[in-house]
Amino acid sequence: MTTAGTSVVHARAPGKVNVFLKVGAVMEDGYHDLATAYQAVSLFEEVRASPATDFSVEFSGSIDISGLAVDGTNLAIKAARALARKAGYRGGVHLDIEKNVPIAGGMGGGSADAAATLLACDALWGTSATKDELLAIAATLGADVPFSFTGGTAIGTGRGDQLSPALAKGKFQWVLALADFGMSTPEVYQELDRHRDRHAQDIFPAEHQPSVDANVLQALRAGDPHMLADVLHNDLQAPALHLAPGLGKVLQLGEENGALAGILSGSGPTVAFLVADADSALELQVALSASRLRVVRATGPVHGARLI
């Protein structure tokens, strides 16, 4: 680890795609019971931490950053404060965050900010926290923060924060269609609950415990995008499409232009298209861009939070 006294520490952490997401019943803590397969992708949040007497954050980046909280409600500030409390550190930190992961896009950008902040502040302050200690703090901040810290490919259960690594061979090619609006994760879950209330209750028994389809794990192990395309699944996709019907046209457009399959990432609205190879990714990017969509390419899996 970098020792205390360094003027600026730079860390980065990735966004993610949920290649599989099953949602079970609401647990006692108010969160839904989940089973998800995460894949970290090559869109990174860049966090630079410098010494300060208090806690502050400012943003830059390739996406619209207007409306981002810069007070104590910001997840990166919460991460820094949590580590300071744990370590008994009495100073503060100034965070410069370059955002490249869509905001409120279902790709865990805020979680990546928090994960990179934990690593950067640990190095800046010389707190020498272990990986397990940092992961324990990460789990208190949000369900996706531990995965952004570890990266790669993993299965998440509980709130999504109980992780077990999953083997993934090779690189998967993704084309991401970015929306010009965000979606509230709690609102999408509420819409899912309303949808289930409106339909046959016996389809979703209270004791239902979700699990990741074994075919998903097999496709990841094989590194086969065609196999994975056949088993992509997201329980939040239907409620998100009900709230934002226009996303259905985006999914259709991608699949008409060479995508093996499309899926909403997390609670949306980012649409992740899986393609066969890098050439197919470029062709789809061109086709979607011609339809006036904002599109980026990414690969996965990639590493989790790291010092740069």
Residue 210 and residue 143 in one domain: no
Residue 91 and residue 145 in one domain: yes
d(CA 130, CA 149): 13
Q: Are 15 and 40 in contact (CB under 8 A)?
A: yes
Element holding 111 (H helix, E strand)? helix 109-125
d(CA 97, CA 19): 27
Instruction: Name the domain count of the chain.
Output: 2
Of 95, 120, 155, which residue constitutes the final position of a domain? Answer: 155
> Which one-letter amino acid corresponds to residue 154?
A
pLDDT for the residue numbered 205:
52
Sign of CA dihedral 98, 101, 104, 106: negative
Residue 263 domain boundaries? 172-300
Q: Mean pLDDT, 10 residues at a time, over the chain (308 residues)?
A: 65 96 84 91 97 96 81 95 96 96 89 97 95 95 93 92 90 94 89 81 59 95 97 95 95 96 93 97 97 95 96
The answer to whether 105 is annotated as binding is: yes
pLDDT for the residue numbered 106:
87
The answer to whether 82 is annotated as binding is: no
Whether 4 is in a domain gets the answer no
Is 249 a residue of the active site? no
Q: Are 142 and 111 in contact (CB under 8 A)?
A: yes
Residue 181 and residue 128 in one domain: no
Whether 252 is in a domain gets the answer yes
pLDDT for the residue numbered 6:
56
The CATH code of the domain that includes 207 is 3.30.70.890
42: its two tokens: 């090559």
Q: What's the predicted TM-score (pTM) here?
A: 0.90
The answer to whether 106 is annotated as binding is: yes
Q: Please identify which of the residues 122, 144, 161, 235 carries the catalytic annotation.
A: 144
